[in-house]
Amino acid sequence: MKTRFVLIHTSHAGNVGATARAMKTMGFGDLVLVAPRWPNVLRREETIQRASGALDVLENARIVATLDEALDGVSHLCATAMTPRDFGPPTVTPRAHFESLLKSELLTHTEQAIEAKNTSSFAPDVSAPAASSAEAGIAFLFGSERFGMANEDVYRCHVALSIPTNPQFSSLNLGAAVQLIAYEWRQALGGFPVHSSTPPAQQADAQQVAGMLSHWEQALAAIGFLDPDAPKKLMPRLNQMFNRAQPTQEEIHILRGVAKAMLQTAAQAKH
């Protein structure tokens, strides 16, 4: 689904850069500024510094004079402001609204596909309705840092998204608000896979565990902890413990190093 972030009357250049960075981290790139304080805000040093590498978002961003221009090509509008008490769109958390929105979109696409199949004599392109809806897209509107969104701008939106915050301190920086909305929307769309920063550890096999336990048996006997003539169930219990722990190959090497040190210490004590 086409996604657009719209900043209305933004007064701080750094927030534009922070917005670009927040968008890029979540895989979005359509940014429109409505009558920002600085006409050259996309090229200001503070903007570029706060973008922290998201220069492609800034390069593709557009500056327009009116909100109408910013909303061209999108159909679902999300305000990010509390509505007046007496009137306005419903106020919903981002997560709840996105779940409901995508379920509604899926139901609409399914109904359109069924209708097309029933009225056509040939196999329909069931992706066409979805593509048409997705082309309409969604826009997230953010007001100025000092005054938020104007009432008339909120009124034209389908929903007012409210980020759950501490009731005693609910003020969010513009860049932080964009990051939270972008994250929740990306998660609703399926999210990105998490890639481990370290290679997966190789679990030790049964033979390696058995070899380590044999080494430990010798070491425990050498330091007098294990009586070879009356071992009872010490070694089977240790075997069960290490089976539950599922040690890696590197951890087996460490444990064998401990056993080796115990044997050396016991040998030195005899001399």
Give the range among 135-139, 171-175, 180-184 with minimum mean pLDDT. 135-139
Q: The sheet that has 91-92: what strands, in order across it?
A: 62-64, 31-34, 3-8, 138-142, 76-79, 159-161, 91-92
Identify the residue with better confidence: 187 or 136.
Answer: 187
Band (84; pLDDT cuts 50, 70, 90): low
Q: What is the mean pLDDT of residues 41-69?
A: 96
Q: What is the mean pLDDT of residues 229-249?
A: 94
pLDDT at residue 201, as a whole number: 87
Q: What is the mean pLDDT of residues 80-102?
A: 85
Q: What is the mean pLDDT of residues 71-84?
A: 85
Q: What is the mean pLDDT of residues 42-70?
A: 96
Report the run of H or E that residue 59 belongs to, with start and end.
helix 55-60
pLDDT at residue 112, as a whole number: 55
* Non-local CB neighbours of 136 within 8 Å, separated by 6+ positions: 2, 73, 74, 75, 76
pLDDT at residue 123, as a whole number: 46
The 10s digit of each residue's pLDDT in 175-212 is 999 999 999 999 999 999 988 888 888 999 999 999 99
Band (144; pLDDT cuts 50, 70, 90): very high
pLDDT at residue 135, as a whole number: 53
pLDDT at residue 82, as a whole number: 65
Q: What is the mean pLDDT of residues 119-128?
A: 46
- Secondary structure of 173-233 in HEC code, one letter for each residue: CHHHHHHHHHHHHHHHCCCCCCCCCCCCCCECCHHHHHHHHHHHHHHHHHCCCCCCCCCCC
Backbone angles phi, psi at 63, to 5 degrees: -115, 125
